[in-house]
Each structure stands twice: as structure tokens, then as C-alpha cells.
């Protein structure tokens, strides 16, 4: 069984984890209610569950909050696709392969350093438009996953909030909520440099690699 990880709030900590409210960065499982929404609004995602097994909430937490003093500001909840990291790796290798190499399932040795650098940036969450999600006792998955921040599914808040809340399975720790908020929009290099270094240092054991300002095509 996976152990807890600092990327997420501990579900046993009632002061930190909230199961009656959605926050930016919450991981939502593909429940039957979510299935029904996808069938109605996004048939392609509904018909391809292996590519859309989980989602992450991109809408800002402050816009989702509701209490006795204020109504919920957000009219829409935006979910982003979350896929197993193996699909990301297959995608990146495919970019490096000429047709003849794809037929035999290999890529050239000279492309290995660039691929490793891209993976390092991903694991340090410095590879926009992707956001790395580490497997943990708090997550509904046991292998690493990646959020694809450009593959989004806007939902109306009023009819769909409760379905998303019922599908909530994990909540990012505050510093990773903030990091996702930075990654959620296209950023200049200057803005990326302004990201608190403590977030970068609390990475996954990989050295910091400078942002290159180049995004690959989405699948």
C-alpha cells in the first residue's frame, strides 16, 4: 500500500482535509454521476475512459467557496484531464520516433538526454502544460498520473457541483494548490521565476531544470 505524501492533505486531519467543499487541485474520480455528465456533454471523453480516468479541479478555490456570508462566485467548474504517466511517456517517445523507428518500437540514443530532462521537469512540476501527481495513500490511483492542463471540461456549477464533490478523492496541500494555480494559465518566464523556491525545493528528488519556454503538442 502506498504511503502518505506531502503533495496531499491527510484525510485523517479534519482541520486540513475538507470533504464538503471543492478546492482547486482536488482530484475527482470518474464516478457514475461523472460518467452521466460526460455522456451528455463530452461524448468523446465518455467513450474513452482509459484516457480520462480522473480529473483535477482547475477553478480557483475562492470562486468555489460558499458560506453564510457569500454565494458561490463561479458559474462553472473547470475540470482538467488526469492520465497515467505511462500515456505521457508514450506520447513523448512518439514525438521522437521517425515512422521506421515506430515500427520497431525504439528511439535513438541521442534523444535520451532530452527526454530525461523533460521527465525531470515534469516530476518537479516545471513542465507546463502538465502537472505531476504522485501516487499516495491519499489518491485513488497507485501509479503516477499527470494532469493535462489544456484538456479541460467546463461544467455548470449549479447542476454539477454536487457530482464533482461526491467524486472528490484527494486534496492538494496548499503549496501545491498555489503551484497548480500558477500553472493553470500560460506564464511568462519572469512569472515562473517568481514561484516560491520552497515549492520547487519540495520536489520529488530531482534537480531544478530551467524553464525552456517550449510546449509540445497535445494528444
206 occurs within a structural domain? no
Percent of the chain residues topping a pLDDT of 90? 67
207 occurs within a structural domain? no
pLDDT in tens, 188-218: 334 444 444 444 344 444 333 333 333 333 3
Choice between 201 and 71, residue whose per-residue pLDDT is larger? 71
The distance from CA 142 to its chain's CA centroid, rounded to whole angstroms, is 15
1 occurs within a structural domain? no
pTM of the model: 0.80
- Among 24, 25, 41, CA closest to 33: 41
pLDDT in tens, 27-57: 999 999 999 999 999 999 999 999 999 999 9
Sheet containing strand 54-57, edge to edge, reads: 130-133, 145-156, 76-84, 54-57, 27-29, 168-170
Asked whether the CA dihedral 160, 133, 137, 173 is positive or negative, the reply is negative
d(CA 83, CA 112): 23
Q: What is the pLDDT of residue 67?
A: 77
59 occurs within a structural domain? yes
**β-strand partners of 131:** 147
Q: What is the pLDDT of residue 203?
A: 40
216 occurs within a structural domain? no
163 occurs within a structural domain? yes
pLDDT in tens, 107-153: 788 888 999 999 999 999 999 999 999 999 999 999 999 999 999 99
pLDDT in tens, 126-136: 999 999 999 99
Check: CB of residue 212 under 8 Å from CB of residue 192: no
Q: SS3 of 118, please?
A: helix
Q: What is the pLDDT of residue 68?
A: 73
Q: What is the pLDDT of residue 185?
A: 56
- Burial of residue 85 (number of CB atoms within 10 Å: 0-12, 13-18, 19+): buried
**Angle ∠(100,101,103) on CA atoms, nearest 5:** 70
Check: CB of residue 55 under 8 Å from CB of residue 79: yes
| Number of domain units in the chain | 1
97 occurs within a structural domain? yes
- Among 21, 26, 10, CA closest to 172: 26
**β-strand partners of 152:** 80
Which structural domain, as residue segments, surrounds residue 82? 27-201
Q: What is the pLDDT of residue 1?
A: 55
pLDDT in tens, 93-111: 888 888 888 888 777 888 8
The distance from CA 202 to its chain's CA centroid, rounded to whole angstroms, is 17
Going from the C-alpha of 83 to that of each of 123, 136, 191, the distances in angstroms are 14, 15, 27
Mean pLDDT of the chain: 84
pLDDT in tens, 153-192: 999 999 999 999 999 999 999 999 999 988 765 543 344 4
- Among 111, 127, 146, CA closest to 206: 127
Check: CB of residue 137 under 8 Å from CB of residue 169: no
215 occurs within a structural domain? no
Amino acid at each position: 500500500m502506498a504511503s502518505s505524501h506531502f503533495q496531499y492533505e491527510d484525510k485523517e486531519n479534519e482541520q486540513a482535509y475538507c470533504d464538503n467543499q471543492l478546492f482547486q487541485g482536488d482530484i475527482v474520480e470518474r464516478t457514475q454521476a461523472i460518467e452521466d455528465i460526460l455522456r451528455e456533454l463530452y461524448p468523446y471523453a465518455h467513450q474513452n475512459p482509459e484516457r480520462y480516468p480522473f480529473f483535477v479541479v482547475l477553478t480557483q478555490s475562492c470562486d468555489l467557496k460558499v458560506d453564510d456570508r457569500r454565494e458561490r462566485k463561479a458559474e462553472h467548474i473547470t475540470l482538467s484531464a488526469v492520465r497515467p504517466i505511462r500515456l505521457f511517456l508514450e506520447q513523448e517517445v512518439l514525438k521522437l520516433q521517425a515512422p521506421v523507428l515506430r515500427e520497431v518500437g525504439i528511439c535513438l540514443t541521442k534523444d535520451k538526454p532530452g527526454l530525461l530532462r523533460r521527465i525531470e521537469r515534469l516530476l518537479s512540476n516545471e513542465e507546463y502544460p502538465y502537472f505531476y501527481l504522485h501516487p499516495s495513500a491519499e489518491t485513488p490511483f497507485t501509479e503516477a498520473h499527470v494532469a493535462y492542463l489544456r484538456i479541460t471540461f467546463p461544467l455548470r456549477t449549479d447542476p454539477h457541483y454536487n457530482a464533482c464533490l461526491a467524486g472528490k478523492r484527494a486534496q492538494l496541500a496548499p503549496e501545491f494548490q498555489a503551484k497548480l494555480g500558477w500553472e493553470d494559465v500560460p506564464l511568462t518566464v519572469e512569472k515562473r521565476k517568481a514561484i516560491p523556491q520552497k515549492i520547487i525545493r519540495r520536489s520529488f528528488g530531482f534537480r531544478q531544470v530551467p524553464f525552456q519556454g517550449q510546449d509540445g503538442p497535445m494528444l
